[in-house]
Amino acid sequence: MVILTLNCGSSSAKYQVYDWDNKDVLCVGVVERIGLEYSTIEQNSTGKKEYEARFSSPTHMEAIELILKMLVDPEYGCIRSLDEIGAVGHRVLHGGEYFKKSTLVTDEVIEKLKELIPLGPLHMPANIMGIEVARKLMPNVPQAIIMDTAWHQTMPAEAFMYAVPYSWYKDFNVRRYGFHGTSHLYCAKRAAVLLGKENKDTNVIILHIGNGASACAVKNGICIDTSMGLTPLEGLVMGSRSGDIDPAIVPYICKNLGVTVEEMDTILNKKSGLIGLCGKQDRRDVHQAADSGDKLAQLAIDMECHRIKKYIGAYAALLGRVDAVVFTAGVGEMGEHIRRGSLRGLESLGIVIDEAKNDLSHCRNAETCISADDSPVKIFVIPTDEELVMTEDAFALMNGTYDVHTNFHYTFEDPTYLNKARERGLVENLKKKPELQSIIVRPAVR
């Protein structure tokens, strides 16, 4: 049996097929430019040639139809029949206060999700459309939703409430929800494994740094605070999002530029952050520009690292004892300059980076340790695996064995767990950079 996971964005649909019996990834792919003049699809099935094509996809219906067709394609596909799909897991941005854990999809669930569209107007309509299309095309396959916000539902009120009129919370659900939950869940549990500790005894600070970025404080295995808020706009400096700002800036700029509140929302989400500061949002481009003498690019890097460092310090105060700092996601896994700038000067907190190890850690197929040998706090780089969390939740829901993460055991919590696809990729990485082996951390089997 295989599990299909779908992550439908406003103009994209990412997907993965996982062989549950053999615990291996069979296929990954993405459709982009949905709703534009043409769409593209890229699919990579294990042991097959990569498939790339342009096609017409006015809506997610055409995109998912092509995805299902390509999964069973004799030349490029990964399964013989769609009947092999036992469940579908859908990533959903916002669960509000309705959904505190993953759940099977019903008509009532979809109606509740539609009520949450105002909390995620850019993402929720696409998420819902993907679910509805998949249900229509695969009516007999159980469908599950996995919310980005669910992991953070353990935050205490003093962390998730805002100091605004309490009626805003009662009437409009204004509170901190947090995002990147599946990534934070995966990394928190993998960090516990690498430390040789039980989840309930583990305190870690997780930094999910990609185009979107968020920090998470994990105490005794559960989230107690996170940097993103009502929406994914709050917190760290991001590719095109401002992160934390003085709220008074909004009316001030609206008045001075003559822009509407809606236009200001677009500016803060799509024209701020790194791209607002230096005109570039890909960290590789920003880094290259800084190395070439671009002062604004260097300022953007310095500001991003400064903000991350502030959150590390704040979360260290909340946790009291920090077992590890974890970097993950595209930039966290590959941006050694961001890790370096964020961690320098934190020796008084027991966080000591080994810069040579940090420079070596540039790989998405291995878990590495980049802290100095005498650092009281470990520093891990853990490639995230949100799709695996979605897969396991979907399977357990279909099988009737699912529960909240504190009562549920994931396969990747086992010290003997191996990601087969990444192990294959790591072989190639080590051929090119054998010294990488020196910083790979393997859990001790308890």
Q: Which residues contact 206 (CB under 8 A, 6 or more apart)?
A: 183, 184, 187, 188, 191, 215, 216, 218, 326, 328
- Both structure tokens of 257: 């530029």
Compute the residue count for the chain: 446
- Both structure tokens of 74: 């004799």
- Strand order across the beta sheet in which 368-369 lies: 222-226, 213-219, 204-209, 324-328, 378-381, 368-369
- Both structure tokens of 378: 């470990």
Look up 148 and say whether it is catalytic. Answer: yes
Which of the residues 19, 21, 83, 148 is marked catalytic? Answer: 148
Least Cα distance to 1 among 84, 89, 77, 80 occurs for 84
- Both structure tokens of 299: 């300022």
Least Cα distance to 193 among 393, 21, 378 occurs for 378
β 39-45/24-32 pair status: antiparallel
Catalytic residues: 148
